[in-house]
Amino acid sequence: MSRIYLSQDGYDNLKTELKNLKSFDRPRIINQIAEARDKGDLSENAEYDAAKEAQGLLEARIAKLENDVANARVLNHKDLDTSTVHLLTKATIKNIANDMEMTYAIVSEAEADLSAKKISVTSPIGRGLLGKAVGDIADIEVPNGIIHFKIIKITTL
């Protein structure tokens, strides 16, 4: 089992999602299965089949979240070194080709959310920025080719 490194917020979000799935979604699906079962012949009951499939997906998600929570290690981002880019740091980078600046938080896969400017440490950009210091150039291969980013600033989350 591999460790998952999270911020406190990421850990709290995982626990909240797990609690919601167990407390609300699981009983709802159990009720759907019971209602479908009451309708008679299960061999030709599409409602029953759909509810059972939803239950299987839900139980798989619960199992994954339970595993993630069990293997999670919360990092205190206030104690992290900001001399280089690493997990739970925020990097301001500049695209050398068009001078566009962006700031991304480098987080675990479980916390990644591009709309919130949180990129996974295992994404191409995340991997390319790891270990870089302010002033370094990161050559990152993306589907359209190689993009050159200059590291402008590194802070904690």
SS3 string of 118-156? Answer: EEECCCHHHHHHCCCCCCCEEEEEECCEEEEEEEEEEEE
pTM score: 0.71
Q: Which residues contact 136 (CB under 8 A, 6 or more apart)?
A: 150, 151
Q: Are residues 44 and 82 in the same domain?
A: no
Predicted local distance difference test score (pLDDT) of residue 127: 92
Predicted local distance difference test score (pLDDT) of residue 77: 66
- Helices 26-38 and 46-71 cross at an angle (nearest 10°) of 160
pLDDT over 90 percentage in the chain? 54
CATH code, domain carrying 81: 3.10.50.30
> Cα–Cα distances in Å, from 107 out to 9, 89, 115?
11, 8, 13
Q: Are residues 103 and 122 in the same domain?
A: yes
Predicted local distance difference test score (pLDDT) of residue 6: 84
Question: Which pairs from 64-67 meet CB under 8 Å and 24+ separation?
Answer: 65/14, 65/17, 65/18, 65/21, 66/18, 67/1
Q: What is the pLDDT of residues 91-114, one digit of tens each?
A: 999 999 999 999 999 998 888 888
Q: Are residues 20 and 64 in the same domain?
A: yes
Predicted local distance difference test score (pLDDT) of residue 42: 64
Q: Are residues 81 and 108 in the same domain?
A: yes
Q: Are residues 16 and 56 in the same domain?
A: yes
Predicted local distance difference test score (pLDDT) of residue 80: 76
Q: Are residues 82 and 69 in the same domain?
A: no
Interatomic CA distance for residues 156 and 78, integer angstroms: 7
Position 87: which residue type? L
Q: Which residues in 48-144 belong to E strands, given as ranges?
A: 72-74, 89-95, 101-107, 118-120, 137-142
Q: Are residues 57 and 127 in the same domain?
A: no
Q: Are residues 58 and 87 in the same domain?
A: no
- Residues in the chain, pLDDT under 70: 1, 41-43, 77
Asked which of 74, 100, 127 is the last residue of a domain, the reply is 74
Its domain, for residue 29, covers: 4-74
Q: Are residues 25 and 84 in the same domain?
A: no
Predicted local distance difference test score (pLDDT) of residue 133: 93
